[in-house]
Amino acid sequence: MKQANTIYSQEMVTQSKQLDEQTTRSLISEFLRLFYTNGWVTGTGGGICATFDDTHVLIAPTSVHKERVLPEDLFVVNRKNGEVIRSPENPALRLSECASIFCQIINERGAGAVMHSHSLSSVLASDMAKGEDHFLIEGLEMLKGLAGENNQSRHAVPIIHNTLHERELLQEVGVQLTQSRFARAYCILVRDHGAYIWGRDIWEVKRHAEVYHFLFDAVLARQQMGTKKWNP
């Protein structure tokens, strides 16, 4: 028991301070493998970014198998304007199209990390909402896993329409980030596409990603089983 408490304490200390660049690179590579296993970044889709100081953000490359991304494969980008400061040594790697959206969420919401999911459940959640501009989640204990929420929360996740290129999502993402009714959301769903999920740091984005995907799965399963009707 003493050993478990020690490990827990060390994790809490790690999560309470800004991680250095190399540690952040390693965690991004590790989490991409985990997200791939969970089916969130398969087929070279999806991605992740994380800051390591007040100026820079590390972003995974595009059009590559995310489970094979190494720490040295990441781009260093200015978090304020999206300018590439340092590229990987491999010239074949290209910056993710999500980069501008990642930086937008970081700047607008004060996020320290953002992941982009191509999960089936995030696509089906948008389908389930039909013509609504949000996906409502309530009555689930797992809501406690979202910062500031509890199991009595009515948690609304905004939904936007997909575009041909991800950079074309910027305007609508910006609108939803400023909507007061979505102020407690750490996710934006994109119809027929997936989701953007963020947190204050890379550890929180991991937790939020796991929580949101569980919540999407739970609401969809309840609807399918007829045990609880979804009410927007």
Q: What is the DSSP string of 118-131?
A: --HHHHHHHHHHTT
How far, in Å, are 5, 34, 189 from residue 117 at the CA level? Answer: 33, 12, 9
Both structure tokens of 55: 């100026």
* Whether the predicted pLDDT of 14 surpasses 80: no
Q: Which domain range does residue 50 map to?
A: 18-225
Residues 6+ apart with CB under 8 A from 226: none
Could you tell me if residue 91 is inside a domain? Answer: yes
From CA 31, how far away is CA 122, in angstroms rounded? 18
Other beta carbons within 10 angstroms of residue 30's beta carbon come to: 13
Q: What is the pTM of this model?
A: 0.91
Both structure tokens of 228: 């609880």
Known active-site residue 141: yes
Confidence of residue 13 (pLDDT cuts 50, 70, 90): very low
Q: What is the DSSP string of 24-38?
A: HHHHHHHHHHHHHHT
Q: How do residues 46-87 score in pLDDT, each as one tens digit?
A: 999 999 999 999 999 999 999 999 999 999 999 999 999 999
Residues 6+ apart with CB under 8 A from 20: 52
Other beta carbons within 10 angstroms of residue 181's beta carbon come to: 11
Alpha helical stretches, state H, 21-137: 21-37, 99-109, 120-129
Residues 6+ apart with CB under 8 A from 7: none
Amino acid at 90: N
CATH number (domain holding residue 35):
3.40.225.10
The structural domain count of the chain equals: 1
3 state SS of 187? strand
Could you tell me if residue 11 is inside a domain? Answer: no
Mean pLDDT over each residue of the chain, to the nearest integer: 92
From CA 143, how far away is CA 148, in angstroms rounded? 9
Could you tell me if residue 92 is inside a domain? Answer: yes
Contact 88, 95 (CB under 8 A): no
Could you tell me if residue 63 is inside a domain? Answer: yes
Could you tell me if residue 231 is inside a domain? Answer: no
Q: How do residues 218-231 score in pLDDT, each as one tens digit?
A: 999 999 888 766 67
Beta bridge partners of 159: 189
Both structure tokens of 59: 């972003």
Could you tell me if residue 10 is inside a domain? Answer: no
Could you tell me if residue 58 is inside a domain? Answer: yes
* Whether the predicted pLDDT of 11 surpasses 60: no
Other beta carbons within 10 angstroms of residue 147's beta carbon come to: 13
Q: How do residues 172-197 score in pLDDT, each as one tens digit?
A: 999 999 999 999 999 999 999 999 99
Out of 11, 21, 72, 141, pick the active-site residue: 141
